[in-house]
Structure 1
């Protein structure tokens, strides 16, 4: 009975020791930053120029949208600029010779009317003092005189304004209106240029959410992809293994499914708070053991762009 007990104890000890054996290699993943491209304004998809799986470069046109409302605002802004520009130029140059002649002729006419009304009032005033006309007649002639005087003074002020030119305040006001209209036109042109969805940087196109004829809403993601210039390798290790890694050191990373090797520089080590962030496929970490993330940047970015996102790699 004692021999059987000793045999079981030895087997249990041997089995337990095999479970905590630490391997030399660490499993990890290839990671990239995710990019989502969206439209700023509502519009209908007219045409798309790329397909899922394509690699695009900065400045490539990915899709064209139709913005009817933006086009209407653009036409309104162009009309407002033309009108404001004409007003500013007219204020800057002043009245033309034809306008001055028209105002001068009108001034002559109201001047004659005013003089005639003044003479009529003088005669009626003298007769009224001698009680030869009624108060009603006197009031009527007096009212006509005041009306003729008001017309004369108004036209005279207009004549002086046209002859001496526009005041500086009105010129600045016209200039302000013109500048405001140009700003609205610039804003409309910027919005109109947004009908083209442009690639901001080199990236892969993973998903295209809309087809031709469908409506794109503001902020709705049209394309999702990976930034190829952001490739890095991500590994997780325990606190027992962290002593083997130093920031700034260069390590060899192997891609077992593509039979390629890469050199990467360790740029960051940070502690992870969740076991869900562990990358290894066969975790053997003890409860309460601290877990750390290793982030390595490939030394050859162009070569690493050949790797697929989230593919498994091994740190040797």
Structure 2
């Protein structure tokens, strides 16, 4: 008799609604962290170098905007920098070597002329003292000597000035021109760099919003990249069930076509509940309060973003 009763109880437990209740579960969905790739400046897209579904590493080139005008501006800025630097170097170094050589040659010639004038003056002086030449000849020799010595002094002063660098104010102005040219070059390079967009992190190209030849505005996403980090599961827990979960809890995950034994770790509870209107804080309406809960997948698996999942507590 007992074995018949046990057989009947086992049979009844197989009938839906009779026997042990199934484990409680919560419905949710998988979500990936998306990064939207956009250029800081708008323009016509020259190349899109990836396709939907492509795996990318951080730093991989994603797309390029047309940049012919910016390349020309960068070349012009570089030329201005080179010209400003050359002008500054010229002011710091003084006259050119060729100009200095000409001044030195003129000085040597003037010194030779002065030496000859000195000899003529000494000879005229001796002859005058002997009474062989008039006073006028001695005066003429003295004047020639004075003129030759003055020419030497003038050329010595010119050579000294030519060997000196420019005045401090001129050098400071030239240095400011160099700094301004370098800043323009840096700005032109930055503008050109903004025409090429790379992947900020590793992941998979999820969606292309533009194609080559189309115009994308500044800050408008051209494509989206799903991060390579573990998927995040989002599900809603009622007010009465919230106490069953804690941060760090391991929960089981199931979905259609998924492998068995998948788990996730709870890492976030939303502090603001969501209500089912009307918002009435009565005992009956409190059952409609739900809190967004998030869990990170432990295993890397075939779950896709947006796929429905079921979450259950692990006893």
> Fold conserved (TM > 0.5)?
yes
Distance verdict in 2 for CA 1:97–1:60, change over 3 Å: closer
Distance verdict in 2 for CA 1:264–1:93, change over 3 Å: same
User: Cα deviation per residue 1:73-99 (whole Å; 9 max; x = unaligned)?
Assistant: 212211111111111111221112444
Pairwise mapping of residues 232-311 of structure 1 onto structure 2 (< 5 A)? Answer: 232-275=232-275, 287-289=285-287, 290-300=289-299, 303-304=300-301, 306-311=302-307
Whole-Å separation in 2 of the counterparts to 1:182 and 1:171 = 16
Which blocks of at least 5 consecutive residues in structure 1 are unaligned?
A: 1-20, 106-156, 277-284
Q: What is aligned with 2:76? A: 76
Whole-Å separation in 1 of the counterparts to 2:267 and 2:50 = 35
Distance verdict in 2 for CA 1:44–1:100, change over 3 Å: same
Whole-Å separation in 1 of the counterparts to 2:218 and 2:247 = 43
Q: What is aligned with 1:123? A: none
Q: What is aligned with 2:180? A: 180
Determine helix, strand or coil for the equivalent of 2:59. Answer: coil
Shift of 1:164: 3.1
Whole-Å separation in 2 of the counterparts to 1:268 and 1:212 = 40
The TM-score with structure 2 as length reference comes to 0.65
Whole-Å separation in 1 of the counterparts to 2:161 and 2:170 = 12
The answer to whether the 8 A contact 2:239-2:286 is kept is no
Distance verdict in 2 for CA 1:286–1:261, change over 3 Å: farther
Which blocks of at least 5 consecutive residues in structure 2 are unaligned?
A: 1-20, 106-156, 277-282
Whole-Å separation in 2 of the counterparts to 1:51 and 1:201 = 16
Shift of 1:199: 1.0
The answer to whether the 8 A contact 1:41-1:218 is kept is yes
Q: What is aligned with 1:88? A: 88
The TM-score with structure 1 as length reference comes to 0.65
Q: What is aligned with 1:217? A: 217
User: Cα deviation per residue 1:57-116 (whole Å; 9 max; x = unaligned)?
Assistant: 2122222221233122212211111111111111221112444578999xxxxxxxxxxx
Shift of 1:313: 1.2
Q: What is aligned with 1:56? A: 56
Q: What is aligned with 2:308? A: 312
Shift of 1:162: 3.7
More displaced 10-residue stretch of structure 1: 94-103 or 238-247: 94-103
Whole-Å separation in 2 of the counterparts to 1:286 and 1:102 = 107
Distance verdict in 2 for CA 1:205–1:238, change over 3 Å: same
Whole-Å separation in 2 of the counterparts to 1:308 and 1:226 = 11
Find out whether 1:201 has 2:197 as its counterpart: no
Whole-Å separation in 2 of the counterparts to 1:176 and 1:212 = 42
Q: What is aligned with 2:65? A: 65
Shift of 1:287: 2.6
Shift of 1:292: 1.4
User: Cα deviation per residue 1:126-180 (whole Å; 9 max; x = unaligned)?
Assistant: xxxxxxxxxxxxxxxxxxxxxxxxxxxxxxx998754532123332332232133
Larger-gyration structure (1/2): 2
